[in-house]
């Protein structure tokens, strides 16, 4: 699907157009700022957008189409490339602002082509940041009129803000897992911890690449980013740094929780072994006595009428005395 937003440069009103704008041989003049969003486009819509731009490098097109060419989960790592006629930016926002109980989340690829008056965003899955920005544009049309570089900054900013619910959920889940470890540790808890560790590592790797991408935009590697929006990109960079610090803290917390889990599991095993050892200590002399009297030989007590009750009494005294002795020594 193709969504088109356009406004006069510096204007306060934004118009919403359709693909007919790309099919019209008469193009808007240079005074218009145009944002074209390709949301899971068809083959025909892709070709229409490529023909309308007319100058994308074949390698750029190949990178854009990577999720479609290699499969649903394939995404290009975040990067920025500056060409003579456009700047190409790739980010990896989340498809949805959520993370599963197993610590898994799904990333998407958002490809952005920035020219002097056009911003093209291209994605094959719903992107939280783009959808949120399209809703803002309909209410605040002046956002488009401020230029395509400002729109790019807003797109990246919104996609980065989409990480917040996931990071918050990770922190809440780790707090709950900490309580679980102390009260009822079980093997499934360790499996969830390791799943979260893998998820955090993947998310950190993606955010580190996005941080490097934003850093290159801040350094002025693209002449199409104005000084004002360079300042705004610094704010996005600060957000990424803060989120990376939180993820690093969570990763260290998972390592600590794994150690606590192993310690609690070892302590629980020691408790079980202590109880079993205490029971064995009580039962061992009882087994010795019953073994002696179970031998097929004649013994004086066997001729006594009270021999059998005497043996039972001895067993009871040993059991009770052994139990209280172990409790007195605090071994049980």
For position 284, which CATH number holds?
1.20.58.340
Say yes or no to pLDDT of 11 above 80.
no
Say yes or no to pLDDT of 231 above 70.
yes
pLDDT score, position 193: 85
What does DSSP assign to residue 301?
G
Q: Does one domain contain both 189 and 210?
A: yes
Domain that holds residue 113: 2-264
Return phi, psi of residue 321, to 5°: -65, -40
Q: Does one domain contain both 167 and 251?
A: yes
Q: What sign for the dihedral angle of Cα 58, 46, 220, 209?
A: negative
Model confidence pLDDT, tens digit, residues 82-92: 888 889 999 98
Q: Does one domain contain both 93 and 228?
A: yes
Model confidence pLDDT, tens digit, residues 146-156: 888 888 888 88
pLDDT score, position 244: 92
What does DSSP assign to residue 89?
E
pLDDT score, position 238: 92
Confidence at 299, pLDDT banded by 50, 70, 90: low
6 vs 111, more confident: 111
Return phi, psi of residue 304, to 5°: -95, 140
Burial of 64 (0-12, 13-18, 19+ CB in 10 A): buried
> Rounded mean pLDDT of 223-242?
86
**Residues above pLDDT 90, as percent of the chain:** 4
- Work out how many domains the chain is built from and give that number: 2
For position 127, which CATH number holds?
3.30.460.20
Q: Does one domain contain both 86 and 173?
A: yes
- Please check whether residue 170 is in contact with residue 196, taking contact to mean a CB–CB distance below 8 angstroms: yes
CB atoms within 10 A of CB 322: 19
Closest CA to 65 of 56, 104, 149: 56
> Rounded mean pLDDT of 112-121?
89
Q: Does one domain contain both 240 and 319?
A: no
Q: Does one domain contain both 97 and 131?
A: yes
Alpha-helix residue ranges (DSSP H) falling in the chain: 20-23, 43-53, 58-64, 66-70, 128-139, 142-145, 148-161, 163-183, 187-218, 227-293, 307-328
Say yes or no to pLDDT of 234 above 70.
yes
**For the ranges 87-96, 241-250, 274-283, which has the lowest average pLDDT?**
274-283
> Rounded mean pLDDT of 290-306?
67
Q: Does one domain contain both 241 and 308?
A: no
Distances (CA, A) of 118 to 93, 181, 238, 322, 331: 21, 53, 27, 87, 78
Average pLDDT along the chain: 81
Domain boundary among 246, 264, 282: 264
pTM over 0.85: no
Hunting for tokens 């104005």 — which residue is that?
226
Separation between Cα atoms, residue 211 and residue 241, nearest integer Å: 7
Domain boundary among 264, 282, 307: 264
Domain boundary among 264, 297, 319: 264
User: How many C-alpha atoms does 277 have within 13 Å on its Cβ side?
Assistant: 10
Confidence at 29, pLDDT banded by 50, 70, 90: confident
Model confidence pLDDT, tens digit, residues 66-80: 888 777 677 888 888
Separation between Cα atoms, residue 106 and residue 170, nearest integer Å: 15
pLDDT score, position 317: 80
Separation between Cα atoms, residue 299 and residue 309, nearest integer Å: 15
Q: 147 in the Ramachandran plot: left (φ > 0), alpha (ψ -120 to 50) or beta?
A: left
């Amino acid at each position: 699907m193709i969504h088109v937003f356009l406004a006069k440069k510096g204007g306060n009103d934004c118009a919403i157009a359709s693909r007919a704008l790309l099919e019209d041989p008469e193009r808007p003049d240079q005074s218009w700022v145009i944002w074209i969003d390709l949301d899971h486009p068809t083959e025909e819509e892709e070709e229409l957008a490529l023909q309308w731009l007319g100058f994308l490098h074949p390698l750029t097109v190949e990178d854009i189409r990577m999720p479609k060419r290699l499969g649903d989960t394939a995404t290009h790592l975040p990067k920025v490339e500056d060409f003579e006629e456009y700047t190409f930016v790739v980010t990896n926002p989340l498809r949805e602002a959520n993370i599963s109980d197993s610590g898994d989340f799904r990333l998407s690829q958002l490809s952005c082509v920035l020219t002097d008056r056009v911003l093209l965003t291209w994605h094959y899955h719903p992107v939280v940041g783009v959808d949120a920005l399209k809703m803002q544009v309909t209410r605040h049309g002046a956002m488009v009129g401020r230029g395509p570089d400002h729109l790019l900054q807003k797109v990246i900013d919104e996609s980065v803000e989409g990480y917040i619910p996931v990071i918050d959920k990770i922190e809440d889940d780790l707090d709950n897992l900490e309580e679980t470890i102390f009260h009822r540790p079980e093997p499934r808890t360790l499996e969830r911890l390791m799943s979260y560790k893998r998820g955090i590592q993947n998310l950190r790797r993606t955010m580190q690449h996005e941080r490097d991408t934003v850093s290159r935009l801040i350094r002025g590697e693209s002449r199409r980013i104005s000084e004002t929006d360079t300042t705004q990109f610094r704010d996005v960079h600060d957000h990424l740094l803060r989120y990376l610090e939180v993820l690093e803290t969570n990763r260290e917390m998972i390592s600590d929780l794994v150690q606590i889990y192993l310690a609690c599991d070892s302590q629980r095993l020691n408790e079980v072994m202590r109880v079993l050892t205490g029971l064995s200590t009580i039962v061992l002399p009882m087994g010795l006595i019953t073994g002696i009297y179970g031998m097929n030989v004649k013994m004086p007590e066997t001729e006594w009428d009270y021999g059998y009750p005497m043996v039972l009494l001895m067993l009871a005294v040993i059991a009770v005395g052994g139990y209280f002795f172990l409790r007195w020594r605090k071994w049980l």
